[in-house]
Amino acid sequence: MLATVAVAVSTFAVVGFAQSDFRKIATGDCGYFTRAPGHRDTFERRPCDHPEAVLIVTQAASKQECAVGDAAFGKSGRRKSWCLQLNVAVGECVNDPKNKNAWLNRLRKVPCTAGTFMVDTRVAAEDRQVCAASSKKFAVTEAVVHVRPPVSYCLHQI
């Protein structure tokens, strides 16, 4: 399980942004991505406490690459990187916590129904064992461990 998470998290998403987004995305912004015509992703801003704000920008427009543990939630374009992390609370559900296939434009907070993943643990630290207790209670758990800043989540499939 942890090996799968490590592989998924180490995959770096290289997707273009709409030109207007290069100057607008700032550290601390929250929201979600949509896929625009031409296969360009656009960041739709929402207040961080908004039900649609599934991501938070932790590094905007920098030549510094995202930390290895954060790469699956990174975006790059024009020699700059943007680093993002999950923006979810315990009890909220998402459709794809590990960002499989690096398609952030599909990641959403969703109603907690069968097949979705509910956040059952959030730790303000880089904790590779964040799902240790949950994996004993639930058949399918997913650990999402962010490095910079450190925060870890355990989600279980409903």
Share the mean pLDDT of the chain.
Answer: 81
Q: How many helices (H) and strands (E) does the chain have?
A: 3, 10
Query: How does pLDDT run across 133-147, given as a tens digit for each residue?
Result: 999 999 999 999 999
Specify the pLDDT at position 17.
Answer: 44
The percentage of the chain sitting over the pLDDT mark of 90, rounded to a whole number, equals 54
Instruction: Determine whether 117 is exposed, middle or buried from the number of CB atoms within 10 Å of its CB (0-12, 13-18, 19+).
Output: buried
Over the Cα atoms of the chain, what is R_g? 15
Is residue 99 within 8 A of residue 72, CB to CB? The reply is yes
Whole-number pLDDT of residue 23: 56
3-state secondary structure of 76: strand
This prediction has a pTM of: 0.80
Determine the average pLDDT of the residues in 51-56. Answer: 94
Q: How many CB atoms lie within 10 A of CB 3?
A: 7
Q: Please tell me what DSSP assigns to residue 80.
A: E
| 52 or 9: which leads in pLDDT | 52
Confidence grade of residue 11 (pLDDT, cut at 50, 70, 90): very low
Strands (E), 1-158: 30-36, 40-46, 55-62, 74-77, 80-86, 93-94, 109-110, 117-123, 141-146, 151-157
Count how many residues are written for the chain. 158
pLDDT of residue 49: 95
Q: How confident is the model at residue 86 (pLDDT cuts 50, 70, 90)?
A: very high
For residue 123, pLDDT over 70 is answered with: yes
Residue 87 has pLDDT above 90, yes or no: yes
- Quickly state the pLDDT bin for 100 (edges 50, 70, 90): low
